[in-house]
Amino acid sequence: MATPRDLRRRIKSIRGTAQITKAMQMVAASKMRKAQQAAIAAGPFAHRLYRIQRAATTRAIDFRHPLTEVRPVRRRAVILVAGDKGLCGALNTNVFRLASRYDPETTIYITAGRKAAQFVARSKRKLDAEFAYGDSPTFGEAKAIAVAGRDLFLSGAVDEVVIIATRFVNTLTQEPVTIEYLPVGEIKGLHVPTAETEADLAADTAETLFEPKAPELLGYLLRHYLNIYMYFTLLQAKASEQSARMVAMKNATDNANGLIKDLTLEYNKLRQGNITKELLEIAGGQAG
Q: Note the residue count of the chain.
A: 288
Q: In angstroms, rounded to a whole number, what is the distance separating the alpha carbons of residues 98 and 164?
A: 7
Cβ 108 vs Cβ 78: under 8 Å? yes
Catalytic residue flag (residue 249):
no
Which of 79, 230, 202 minimizes the C-alpha distance to 152? 79
List % helix, strand, coil for the chain (3-state, nearest 5): 60, 15, 25
In eight-state DSSP terms, residue 79 is E
Distances (CA, A) of 84 to 5, 33, 81, 88, 150: 40, 18, 10, 11, 24
Q: In angstroms, rounded to a whole number, what is the distance separating the alpha carbons of residues 224 and 237?
A: 20
Catalytic annotation, pick one of 88, 161, 177, 256: 88
Distances (CA, A) of 203 to 58, 159, 208: 11, 30, 14
- As annotated, the active-site residues are 88
